[in-house]
Every structure is written in C-alpha cells, then in structure tokens.
C-alpha cells in the first residue's frame, strides 16, 4: 500500500491550498515530508494560473517542525533539512503571494515556513516557538529572516531561549500580521485570500520581489531595480485597466 501523502495540494482558479497532512503528529515533518515539500512547491511554481498560495495544517496544528521521533531514530538527516530549506527559499523567491493560515501550533520548522510567507494570519491562541537550540540544532535561515522581521533583540530571545508565545503576542511584536479568535479564523482567512487575489499581479509581484531583497541591496542598486519595476508597471495592461477604473469612478 502506498503511504498517504504528507502534504495535499488543491487548486481552485488562481488560488492553491497547501495543507500539511500528518495530523496524528501535529503535522511534524519526517524525511518524506521534506521531499514532498520540495515537490509540492515545485508543482505550485509550475502552475502559471496560480497567483495566491495558502498554507495551512490538517487537524489542530499548522506545522510543528521536525518529527523528533524520526530525528532521534536517525530517519531524518541533514540532507532532509537542507531540502526543507531549499523549498522555503523557493517560496520566498517565487512570483506568487503566500499566506500562512496558522490554524494551530506553529513550532520550529513550522514557524520557519510561516516566516517565508508574505502574510501570516493566525488563531490568537496558536503557540509559536523556535526550539531548535534546545535540540542542539539551529533554526535554519530563521536566523537571517527573523531579526529582519521583528528586530535583533526579540529575535535572539526567541531563537536562543526557544520561548513559546501565543499568536496574539506574536501580533504585538510584528511576527504575525493578524491574530483572530478561532471562531473567526475561517472567515478571516477567506477574506484575506480575496484581498490578495484582487491585487494587480504585475505590481504585487514586483513589490514582493523588491521588499524581499530590501535588506540585501545597497540603496542605489535597489533604486535602479525599483525604477525598472515601476516602468514595467506603467507599461502593463493591468495599469491601463486600473487607470480606466479610476476615470470611470470619477465620472460616476
């Protein structure tokens, strides 16, 4: 019998939904998960019709990092973790908008997955942490991404001490864009997806590309790339339609 997939992918129009699907272990990742994460991300990248990707978890967790039982048994090795990071880097660089629908515990590699998304919506009682240091590991490129998101002092606190915080606390420090009560989560996620789908792809993609690189380029190089992207917006059909809509509203 073929084992069940650890990640499911569903595409509806311009929206893809990636669901981490190992609910019996709170969606923790083993070697197969790491491989399927790369495969799923590649499949999403190949879908030119997809513009927005939602990541969420089956059951009561979003994703809780590495499967510690598999790690302790030697069934999850360094190459698997490198594969995991390769997939996250691809998400961060992809010309699609990613939303993390944090429906529950978001721990370790799960929080790392959320960090590479463009927007993080969470149930307010979801628990977030990066416990890698306590396991004599390091939290991959969260070491690079987290200080840029919330500042060095708070990032070091979360990374070094592995403290667990709620999504509501994460919202206060800028780690989560929005935390909502569990009863409001499904509606809030659907509304968030609609807002992202409504964005003009040319300007949204250019803005994602540039803001992702904001800490990596010097000012003049960044400005040159911004000017090129802005010129692309001006000459796009999407800009023409947006200006026509504005003129139409002014006449009415």
Please report whether residue 97 resides in a domain. Answer: yes
Give the predicted TM-score (pTM) of the model. 0.94
What is the arrangement of strands in the sheet containing 7-12, beginning at the earlier edge strand?
7-12, 15-20, 52-57, 97-102, 119-123, 178-180
Distance of CA 174 to the CA centre of its chain: 15
What is the pLDDT tens value at each position of the chain, 252 positions in all? 456 799 999 999 999 999 999 999 999 999 999 999 999 999 999 999 999 999 999 999 999 999 999 999 999 999 999 999 999 999 999 999 999 999 999 999 999 999 999 999 999 999 999 999 999 999 999 999 999 999 999 999 999 999 999 999 999 999 999 999 999 999 999 999 999 999 999 999 999 999 999 999 999 999 999 999 999 999 999 899 989 988 888 886
Q: What is residue 1's predicted lDDT score, i.e. its pLDDT?
A: 46
Q: Strands 105-107 and 127-129: what pairing?
A: parallel
pLDDT for 2: 52
Domain that holds residue 212: 201-251
The answer to whether residue 145 sits within a structural domain is: yes
Residue 185 and residue 92 in one domain: yes
Count of domains for the chain: 2
147 vs 154: CA distance, rounded Å: 8
The CATH number of residue 30's host domain is 3.90.226.10
């Amino acid at each position: 019998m073929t084992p069940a997939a650890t990640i499911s992918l569903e595409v509806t129009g311009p929206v893809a939904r990636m669901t981490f699907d190992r609910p019996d272990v709170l969606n923790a990742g083993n070697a197969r998960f790491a491989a399927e994460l790369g495969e799923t991300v590649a499949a999403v990248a190949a879908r030119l019709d997809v513009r927005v990707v939602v990541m969420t978890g089956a059951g009561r967790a979003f994703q809780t990092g590495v499967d510690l039982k598999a790690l302790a048994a030697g069934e999850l090795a360094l190459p698997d973790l490198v594969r995991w990071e390769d997939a996250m880097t691809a998400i961060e660089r992809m010309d699609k908008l990613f939303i993390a629908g944090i429906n529950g515990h978001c721990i370790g590699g799960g929080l790392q997955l959320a960090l590479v998304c463009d927007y993080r919506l969470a149930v307010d009682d979801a628990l977030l942490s990066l416990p890698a240091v306590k396991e004599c590991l390091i939290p991959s490129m969260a070491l690079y991404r987290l200080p840029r998101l919330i500042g060095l002092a708070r990032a070091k606190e979360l990374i070094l001490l592995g403290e667990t915080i709620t999504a509501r606390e994460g919202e206060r420090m800028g780690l989560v864009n929005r935390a909502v009560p569990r009863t409001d989560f499904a509606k809030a996620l659907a509304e968030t997806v609609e807002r992202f789908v409504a964005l003009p792809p040319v300007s949204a993609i250019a803005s994602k590309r540039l803001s992702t690189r904001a800490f990596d380029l010097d000012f003049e190089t960044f400005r040159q790339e911004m000017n090129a992207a802005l010129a692309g917006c001006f000459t796009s059909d999407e800009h023409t339609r947006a200006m026509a809509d504005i003129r139409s509203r002014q006449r009415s």
